[in-house]
């Protein structure tokens, strides 16, 4: 079954960079951006995180929560947040990545002729009722935040 716009977003509870559990259901009533990314401190993932950081005031002023999700653990997330002054939450979805799998954002990838299981760069906007408002399967890391604001007419 493929997730579609209008579907109820799969609920989850994952630890944040401080080890504190964060549940999607606890954010009901707020618009939430969930972005899945492969790895902290890699070039594309850093561009994507910094794009959200640089446009953070737009998300914050419109009461939009941003949650980044990767396989990296809390210590890695903390370093990433501190190094780039990221103002939003990063969550850990450890292998076998059940949350990313439920969002169809974990699977077979190819890189330099090698196949492996990994996190895909996908982004979801969840509305105030917990339903999927927008799905991005083709993400431009350096302009994802811009695209979301444009599509929500908030830029």
Q: Which residues are catalytic?
A: 45
Calculate the CA dihedral of residues 42, 61, 93, 10 and round it to 10 degrees: -140
Please say whether the beta carbons of 28 and 127 come within 8 A: no
Category of 19 on φ-ψ map: left (φ > 0), alpha (ψ -120 to 50) or beta? left
First-residue to last-residue Cα distance in the chain? 33
Residues 144 and 125: their CA atoms lie apart, in Å, by 12
Give the number of other Cβ atoms within 10 Å of residue 2's Cβ: 6
């Amino acid at each position: 079954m493929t997730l579609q716009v209008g579907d109820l977003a799969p609920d989850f509870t994952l630890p944040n960079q401080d080890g504190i559990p964060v549940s999607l259901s606890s954010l009901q009533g707020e618009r939430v951006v969930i972005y899945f990314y492969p790895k902290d401190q890699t070039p594309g993932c850093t561009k994507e995180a910094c794009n959200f950081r640089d446009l953070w005031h737009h998300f914050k002023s419109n009461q939009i929560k941003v949650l980044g999700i990767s396989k990296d653990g809390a210590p890695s997330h903390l370093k990433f947040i501190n190094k780039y002054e990221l103002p939003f939450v990063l969550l850990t979805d450890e292998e076998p990545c059940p949350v990313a799998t439920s969002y169809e954002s974990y699977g077979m990838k190819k890189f330099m002729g090698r196949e492996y299981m990994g996190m895909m760069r996908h982004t979801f906007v969840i509305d105030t009722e917990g339903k999927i408002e927008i799905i991005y399967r083709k993400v431009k890391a350096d302009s994802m935040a811009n695209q979301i604001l444009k599509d929500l007419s908030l830029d």
